[in-house]
Amino acid sequence: MGGTVSANHDRANLLEGRGLTKIFGTLTACDHIDLNIAKGEIHALLGENGAGKSTLVKMLFGSLEPNSGEIFWDGKPVKITSPGVAKKLGIGMVFQHFSLFEALTAAENIALSLNDGSPISTIAAKARALSFSYGLPLDPDSLVGDLSVGERQRIEIIRCLLQTPQLIILDEPTSVLTPQEADKLFETLERLRSEGKSILYISHRLEEVKRICDRATVLRHGKVVGHCNPREETAASLARMMVGSEVKAVVRAPAEGIETASALLEIRGLSRKPATPFAIPLKNINLTVRAGEVIGIAGVAGNGQGELFESVSGEVLQQDAGSVRIRGKDAGAFSITGRRLMGAAFVPEERLGHGAAPRMKLSENLLLSRHATDGKAFVGSGGMVKNGSVYSAAQRIITAMDVRKSAPDPEAAALSGGNLQKFIVGRELDRKPSVMIVNQPTWGVDAGAAAHIRQALIELARSGSAVLVISQDLDELFELSDAIAVMHNGELSKPLPIAEATFEKIGLLMGGAEPGHAEHGMEVA
Amino acid sequence: MRIELVKRPQRSALFSMLSPFIAFALTIIAGAIMFALLGVNPLNAFEIYFVEPISQVWQLHELAIKAAPLILIAVGLSVCYKANIWNIGAEGQFIFGAIFGSIIPVLFPQFEGPLVIPLMLLLGMVGGAFYASIPALLKTRFSTNEILTSLMLVYVAQLFLDWLVRGPWRDPQGHGFPQTIQFGDSAVLPELMPDAGRANWGFVFALVAAVLIWLMMSRMLKGFEVRVLGSSPRAGRFAGFGFNKMVFFTFLLSGALAGLAGISEVSGAIGQLQPVISPGYGFTAIIVAFLGRLNPLGIVAAGLVLALTYLGGEAVQSALGISDKVARVFQGMLLFFVLGCDTLIHYRIRLIGMALTKANGTAKLEAAPKLEEAR
């Protein structure tokens, strides 16, 4: 299928994959995938989570060996048996999750991956020159631990460029950037394209793909479902190709009478010292979430959102009991169980190992967060667990949230990310909490499931609960929120009502410009 | 050539169940080689070691006497280990249980009646729990490694007992032997069937403890808490389960059970305190716990097997003149093979040739995402 498309293309192929197939047990992650990347193009690889994008890329980068299929590089058949081989051919990769040592400098990290014995000072000089020429400012002598996520990504990109690759693979590169940082990245990518390099760009952000990519290959359930020129498509038509059906748009009726509604979650002058040398301190955070509204917290990852979540959830207690108030009562001295009993519910960022115990069944994972709030329903006399009622409650959530699974009560780790997230969110919604705090509600969740989760959160708010959503996904926050506040370096801006908020304004706040912050600080003082 | 362990994407349920049996078979094979090297006919030796010690009813009673402390201690340890908390000091907690429980018969021998035994057992549990609370306190307060502290406290307990029976608690009419007075009749744990053999109530305690702990671990919220904190501590914190509380809970529980084993042993099988009251039950129980797959019911079976290694060791010593240290060798091999089997259930071995190593240097870094994908 792909072969015919490339034949129509005017440029020569740099890389061509034919019939690439990868099977894991009973799952065919990639099913006869054809992919052609021409010289000097930015090629998008689109697909929902679990569509096979990562598997395909890992085969191209030599981390996985295909069960069948061939790869041609510059027209010649090649076997990419390891990342070392891929690098030698001229394939570089920037991973979604960085592999950097926080305690080393940028240059030392680069030296570790180059592994060619050249002295650190030479590498630092090269890196500095390269970063300058591509407009990716970076001080090679700075400690990675002190750098922002955007800066860390620059190290990864420069590390990749130092190996002078012909093909650069970028896996969801903008998910950790502010809109302004993303713009810079796009400039760099366009520059690389003009130098004749090819880029394979993996993303689920359709607007970006439309903006910078020349061609797109769309995957669904491990198969290629189409090739297209993203510039000629609309975001909706691309989404339809990815999902295979119409994605329901999230409906958000305007919230009414919020100003007079009671404040269900209040954070007052919350500060927290960093728990580890690389943690972010929280500085005098103030926020009120009223009944009926959704407040979003935007921010680049690692600006204290995790610390804020831990503090509000009660996984970490506050010295000043009044710094976190739930339904008008001081909650700072209460543990997470106590706060749940006050009517709050929490969904953490990490699904496996935090929100759910991976090796435990879904029914057991239901008990995980609800053993106290539903003590009567789930735990009988003498602390015996009522397995029957836990099981049926789990099934009720599974049905309500349309969780797809292979067994009646599988282990959490056996579910796909999106389905597990639907269960974890559903587990809390099922309680009808009056305060709901969610960190990254749809991180790595496919479009259909994400729309489902967002709609459910809005409906919870409209039914009279206070919902606080922490997210790195600006599109999501604009879809969900009645007001958006921005977290930067442990400080929280004043929430901007959604009518006033623009990507531009939020983006500036994410980057550290804080209009209105001084005023905000004074108000507290 | 280099050997590497690669995590398996899936554990085989069948082999998880078979692993204790495979380990036992491997122990027998290695034992046969050992006997052959010692110049003894292995078949003959095995008959003396494993069959003869349990061929008569009174011998089964001896088996129960040896198995009781092993099961009691191991059941408590299984809870610790399920919570990923490593109490290695059950031997010391056993000794402290024995010492605390002996306070009544040694210091107040005139106190008699039906209350004496229950009080002694209670004190024994308090003693074991008290001694186990030390490493728990050190761990929660100062983040010390509980493996080291609980282990080292074993030696403290052994020397403390030694000092007690040579010093303040020595029987004045004992002709200078380092031992306390013989316990009075009401301080001796009754035998179950005095006509058939010596087995005492300790064995019943062990079975009851096994069933109760099994119930707790499989059916109760507390057991769920233990399993969550042991398998994913962060999810446990999210559930509102306190890790420090769990450290205390598991240490106090396992300490109390070890203490109960200690006082039962002294009051039932020995009848007085002496410098050495345990042939290493507290350590052997670690093997029992793992051989029983940390399942209290499996531990009952494993306890009986390990008890047999003690009896067999005594039997080969008297019949063949081989040191009874052979029992320790068997126990060691058994633990080694159990852990080996368990490792191979979770990992497979990959051999890497030297020539390839260099090329694979980078490939290794990618192994982790590869496995995640496979999962």
Query: What angle is formed at CA B81 by the lines to CA B75 and CA B85, rounded to 5 degrees?
Result: 125
- Give the residue on A whose Cα is nearest the Cα of B228: A357
**pLDDT of res. A29:** 85
Could you give phi then psi for residue B8, rounded to 5 degrees? -80, 140
- Farthest-apart Cα atoms in chain B, separation: 79
Asked if B9's CB is within 8 angstroms of A63's CB, the reply is no
Split at pLDDT 50, 70, 90, the class of A277 is confident
Q: Which residues of B touch A413 (CB under 8 A)?
A: 375
> Between A61, A82, A357, which is nearest B359 by CB?
A82
Q: Which residue has the tokens 């020129």?
A: A229
Q: Flag whether residue A117 sits within 8 Å of chain B, measured between CB atoms.
A: no
DSSP B187: G
A342, B216 Cβ separation under 8 angstroms: no
Name the least confident of A295-299, A333-337, A464-468, B36-40.
B36-40
d(CA A59, CA A20): 8
- Single-letter code of the amino acid located at A513: A
Confidence check: pLDDT of A201 > 90: yes
Q: Residue A107: exposed, middle, or buried by beta-carbon count in 10 A (0-12, 13-18, 19+)?
A: buried
Q: Flag whether residue B352 sits within 8 Å of chain A, measured between CB atoms.
A: no
Q: pLDDT digit string (tens) for B247-298?
A: 999 999 999 999 999 999 999 989 999 999 999 999 999 999 998 989 999 9
Q: Find which of A30, A54, A100, A384 to mutate to test the B interface (most B CBs within 10 Å of its CB).
A: A384
Asked if B375's CB is within 8 angstroms of A413's CB, the reply is yes
Q: Quote the minimal CA–CA distance from A291 to chain B in Å.
A: 25
Q: What are B132's two structure tokens?
A: 């186990």
Sorted by sequence, the CB contacts under 8 Å of residue A344 that are 6+ apart come out as A265, A313, A326, A331, A433, A434, A435, A436, A437
Sorted by sequence, the CB contacts under 8 Å of residue A345 that are 6+ apart come out as A369, A428, A429, A431, A433, A435, A436, A437
- Single-letter code of the amino acid located at B220: M
Asked if A340's CB is within 8 angstroms of B366's CB, the reply is no
Name the least confident of A298-312, A336-350, B206-220, B317-331.
B317-331
> What residues of chain A, 366 to 405, have a C-beta less than 8 Å from chain B?
367-369, 371-372, 379, 382-385, 387
Enumerate domains of chain A plus CATH numbers: 1-90+167-172+198-246 (3.40.50.300), 263-524 (3.40.50.300)
Query: What angle is formed at CA A9 by the lines to CA A8 and CA A14, rounded to 5 degrees?
Result: 130
**Residues written for chain A:** 525
Q: pLDDT digit string (tens) for B188-222?
A: 999 888 888 888 999 999 999 999 999 999 999 99
Q: Quote the minimal CA–CA distance from B144 to chain A in Å.
A: 19
Name the least confident of A3-7, A126-130, A309-313, B57-61.
A3-7
Asked if B231's CB is within 8 angstroms of A348's CB, the reply is no
Q: Which residues of B touch A315 (CB under 8 A)?
A: 237-238
Determine the average pLDDT of the residues in A404-419. Answer: 83
Q: Residue A133: exposed, middle, or buried by beta-carbon count in 10 A (0-12, 13-18, 19+)?
A: exposed
d(CA A138, CA A156): 11
Split at pLDDT 50, 70, 90, the class of B135 is very high
**pLDDT of res. B316:** 87
Residue A47: Cβ within 10 Å count: 27
CA separation, residue A194 to residues A102, A187, A188, A209, B215 (Å) = 33, 11, 10, 17, 69
Q: Which residues pair with B323 in a beta bridge?
A: none
**pLDDT of res. A518:** 40
Query: What angle is formed at CA B79 by the lines to CA B77 and CA B82, rounded to 5 degrees?
Result: 110
d(CA B156, CA B109): 27
A445, A438 Cβ separation under 8 angstroms: no
> Between A340, A356, A384, which is nearest B235 by CB?
A356
C-alpha neighbours within 13 Å on the C-beta side of residue A246: 3
Could you give phi then psi for residue A261, rounded to 5 degrees? -70, 155
d(CA A512, CA A519): 15
Name the least confident of A350-354, B5-9, B208-212.
B5-9
Determine the average pLDDT of the residues in A236-256. Answer: 79
d(CA A118, CA A141): 16
Q: Flag whether residue B240 sits within 8 Å of chain A, measured between CB atoms.
A: yes
Split at pLDDT 50, 70, 90, the class of A514 is low
Task: Look at B226 and A250; give whichever has higher pLDDT.
Answer: B226
Confidence check: pLDDT of A3 > 50: no
**pLDDT of res. B353:** 66
Q: Residue B85: exposed, middle, or buried by beta-carbon count in 10 A (0-12, 13-18, 19+)?
A: buried
Among candidate residues B374, B269, B337, B363, the one with its CA nearest the CA of residue B19? B337
Asked if A384's CB is within 8 angstroms of B219's CB, the reply is yes
Q: Which residues of B touch A83 (CB under 8 A)?
A: 362-363, 365-366
A20, A59 Cβ separation under 8 angstroms: yes
Q: Provide the percentage of residues in chain A whose pLDDT is more than 90.
A: 44
Q: pLDDT digit string (tens) for A470-481?
A: 998 888 899 999
Q: Quote the minimal CA–CA distance from A383 to chain B in Å.
A: 5
d(CA A395, CA B179): 63
Q: pLDDT digit string (tens) for B48-107?
A: 988 988 888 999 999 999 999 999 999 999 999 999 999 999 999 999 999 999 999 999
Pairing of strands A294-298, A483-488: parallel
Q: Find which of B362, B364, B372 to mutate to test the A interface (most A CBs within 10 Å of its CB).
A: B362
Q: pLDDT digit string (tens) for A63-87?
A: 888 989 999 999 899 999 888 889 8
Confidence check: pLDDT of B362 > 70: no
CA separation, residue B290 to residues A71, B283, B335, B339, B342 (Å) = 49, 12, 8, 8, 10
Q: Flag whether residue B111 sits within 8 Å of chain A, measured between CB atoms.
A: no
Q: What are A330's two structure tokens?
A: 């001081």
Q: pLDDT digit string (tens) for A435-468?
A: 999 999 988 777 778 888 999 999 999 999 999 9
Winning range, highest mean pLDDT, from A125-139, A384-398, B248-262, B360-374: B248-262
Average pLDDT, chain A: 86
Burial B44-55, CB ≥16 within 10 A → b, else e = ebbebbbebbbe
d(CA B302, CA B312): 15
Split at pLDDT 50, 70, 90, the class of A99 is confident
Q: Which residues of A touch B234 (CB under 8 A)?
A: 350, 353-354
Asked if B238's CB is within 8 angstroms of A313's CB, the reply is yes
Q: Which residues of A touch B361 (CB under 8 A)?
A: 84, 115
d(CA A447, CA A479): 13
> Between A63, A337, A383, which is nearest B366 by CB?
A63
> Between A54, A83, A369, which is nearest B238 by CB?
A369
For residue B232, the SS3 value is coil
d(CA B165, CA B277): 11
Residue B180's region, left for phi above 0, alpha for psi from -120 to 50, else beta, is beta
ipTM value for the complex:
0.81
Asked if A368's CB is within 8 angstroms of B239's CB, the reply is yes
d(CA A383, CA A367): 13
Q: pLDDT digit string (tens) for B146-205?
A: 999 999 999 999 999 999 999 999 998 888 899 999 999 899 999 888 888 888 999 999
Q: Flag whether residue A25 sits within 8 Å of chain B, measured between CB atoms.
A: yes
Residue A505: Cβ within 10 Å count: 17
Sorted by sequence, the CB contacts under 8 Å of residue A371 that are 6+ apart come out as A378, A379, B221, B224, B239, B240
Task: Describe the crossing of helices A387-400 and A362-370 by its angle, rounded to 10 degrees.
Answer: 100
Element (H, E) at A268: strand A263-272
Q: pLDDT digit string (tens) for A370-384?
A: 999 998 899 988 889
A&B contacts, CB < 8 Å: 107
Burial A403-439, CB ≥16 within 10 A → b, else e = bebeeebebbebbbbbbbbbbbbbbbbbbebbbbbbb
Q: Quote the minimal CA–CA distance from B373 to chain A in Å.
A: 7
B89, B151 Cβ separation under 8 angstroms: yes
Confidence check: pLDDT of B375 > 50: no
A317, B242 Cβ separation under 8 angstroms: no
d(CA B44, CA A108): 65
d(CA B60, CA A422): 56
- Give the residue on B whose Cα is nearest the Cα of A53: B373
Q: Quote the minimal CA–CA distance from A482 to chain B in Å.
A: 28
d(CA B33, CA B37): 6
A485, A492 Cβ separation under 8 angstroms: yes
Q: Which residues pair with A170 in a beta bridge?
A: A94, A201
**pLDDT of res. A10:** 55
Among candidate residues A101, A94, A99, the one with its CA nearest the CA of residue A146? A101
C-alpha neighbours within 13 Å on the C-beta side of residue A342: 25
Q: Which residues pair with B347 in a beta bridge?
A: B7
CA separation, residue B351 to residues B1, B9, B329, B360 (Å) = 7, 18, 30, 12
Split at pLDDT 50, 70, 90, the class of A520 is very low
Q: pLDDT digit string (tens) for A386-411?
A: 999 999 999 999 999 888 887 888 88
Helix then strand then coil, % of chain B, to nearest 5? 75, 5, 25
Burial A449-470, CB ≥16 within 10 A → b, else e = bbbbbbbbbbebbbeebbbbbb
- Give the residue on B whose Cα is nearest the Cα of A366: B239
Q: Find which of A65, A159, A352, A360 to mutate to test the B interface (most B CBs within 10 Å of its CB).
A: A360
Q: Find which of A340, A368, A370 to mutate to test the B interface (most B CBs within 10 Å of its CB).
A: A368
A376, A340 Cβ separation under 8 angstroms: no
